[in-house]
């Protein structure tokens, strides 16, 4: 895996910047389920994805979770390097949803590039605006949308990401994505099943009427 | 009012950039209650505050509102210029909460500065990270905090901003800040009154036991 192929604005860096980045970025591979960054711990660094899938989420004091965005190949995670900017006053955690290969870019190196290069800084602005848009979308969902719509949307999105109508997941994992307790997820899934939209089994949810599920959204 | 005094990184601009900004920024004064930017309309431009107070909020299809952040003197609003960045995929509205004096900076002018100056671009990153932190805080409130805590926090913050224990506001206005229907606000305020924390009258809410209100938060 070539770092230069995955780093989005490689061609806008000069030779010294390219060398610095390539020498300092650390390549890692983790198994599905690994927690790569934990909000309350130190500044891990920026994450650049080569392959796999990560999810960034926040945690309540009571241990409830909600997914705020997901990262795929070529995506970069800024907020695992919150020490990079004074104004980042919140903490996220990051977990691998699939076996994932990625680079960790040290926060101080990236910050140096940002301060000297308008191109890197503007790219960072675009990344932040993208995540901001994700979070604003999520906020609108949580505020104004009923849970049946959110759950239907989530199942359809998962099915899309996995390329399958059979989802291997638990009600608890779904609750952690959507910010709801497991019992609320189970109740709504049973309702979906009674309406013929899904079929529930141990560890799987099968979408049996995609059109009907879509009509909810 | 001198634009150069209010623009936060004036000293980091070169002479040509200073001239460009000063010539293109448009000074405006509006009365309390004026809607300066409406999410669904065109790109208004960046707003730089000289005096007064603005609130940025989002609207649901059904007309419900929630305040996402507030702006005071020297603050800058980026998202009233969402056309400036492709990745800003959400819309906010902005309203004056007090009589307010501000400058409108055209989006294309600011974008030009951002592309040529790492200083302007990094400043923009910090502004965005600040608003992002505001929104993440709000998200955590909405997700994990009960409404009595949020309302108590809001009343205390308002009292602080106004420098008074008597707040001139309506239950509907509070609902629009917090994203809840008016009836929910009224019910909770009546509960606060029965607990001796506030006294309700037409158009005002008086905080009568600040300590007890604080203990809720």
Query: What's the average model confidence in pLDDT over B142-151?
Result: 89
pLDDT tens for each residue of B52-95: 999 999 998 888 899 999 999 999 999 999 989 989 989 999 99
Q: Which of A87, A116, A135 lies at the smallest CB-CB distance from B129?
A: A87
The span from the CA of A202 to the CA of A200, in Å, is 7
Distance from CA of B6 to the nearest CA of A (A): 19
Is some CB atom of chain B closer than 8 A to the CB atom of A73?
no
The span from the CA of A68 to the CA of B136, in Å, is 10
Residue of B nearest to A179 (CA): B143
The span from the CA of B186 to the CA of A203, in Å, is 44
Tens of pLDDT along chain A (217 residues) come to 899 999 999 999 999 999 999 999 999 999 999 999 998 777 899 999 999 999 999 998 888 899 999 999 999 999 999 989 989 989 999 999 999 999 999 999 999 999 999 999 999 999 999 999 999 988 988 888 889 999 999 999 999 999 999 999 999 999 999 988 888 899 899 989 988 999 999 899 999 999 999 998 8
Is some CB atom of chain B closer than 8 A to the CB atom of A27?
no
pTM for the model stands at 0.85
The span from the CA of A80 to the CA of A55, in Å, is 12
Is some CB atom of chain A closer than 8 A to the CB atom of B180?
no
Which residue bears the tokens 């009571």? A62
Q: Which of A85, A87, A125 lies at the smallest CB-CB distance from B121?
A: A125
Query: What's the average model confidence in pLDDT over B144-173?
Result: 93
Which residue bears the tokens 């995506």? A75
Subunit contact A90:B132, Cβ cutoff 8 A: yes
Is some CB atom of chain A closer than 8 A to the CB atom of B61?
yes
Distance from CA of B176 to the nearest CA of A (A): 12
pLDDT in the model for residue B180 = 87
Distance from CA of A185 to the nearest CA of B (A): 16
The span from the CA of B184 to the CA of A129, in Å, is 33
Subunit contact B133:A87, Cβ cutoff 8 A: yes
Is some CB atom of chain B closer than 8 A to the CB atom of A136?
yes
The yes-or-no verdict on residue B217 having pLDDT over 90 is no
């Amino acid at each position: 895996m070539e770092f230069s192929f995955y780093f989005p604005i490689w061609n806008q860096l000069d030779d010294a910047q390219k060398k610095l980045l390539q020498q300092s970025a650390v390549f890692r591979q983790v198994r599905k389920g690994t927690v790569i960054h934990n909000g309350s711990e130190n500044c891990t660094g920026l994450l650049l994805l080569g392959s796999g899938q990560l999810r960034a989420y926040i945690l309540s004091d009571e241990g409830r979770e909600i997914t705020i965005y997901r990262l795929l190949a070529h995506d970069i995670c800024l907020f695992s390097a919150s020490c990079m900017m004074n104004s980042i006053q919140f903490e996220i955690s990051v977990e691998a949803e699939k076996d994932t290969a990625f680079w960790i870019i040290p926060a101080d190196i990236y910050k140096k590039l940002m301060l000297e290069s308008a191109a890197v800084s503007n790219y960072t602005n675009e990344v932040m605006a993208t995540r901001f848009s994700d979070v604003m979308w999520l906020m609108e969902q949580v505020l104004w949308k009923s849970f049946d719509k959110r759950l239907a949307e989530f199942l359809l999105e998962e099915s899309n990401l996995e390329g399958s109508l059979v989802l291997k997941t638990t009600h608890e994992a779904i609750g952690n994505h959507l910010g709801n307790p497991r019992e609320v997820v189970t109740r709504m899934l049973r309702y979906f099943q009674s309406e013929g939209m899904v079929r529930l089994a141990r560890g799987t949810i099968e979408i049996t009427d995609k059109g009907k599920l879509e009509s909810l959204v």
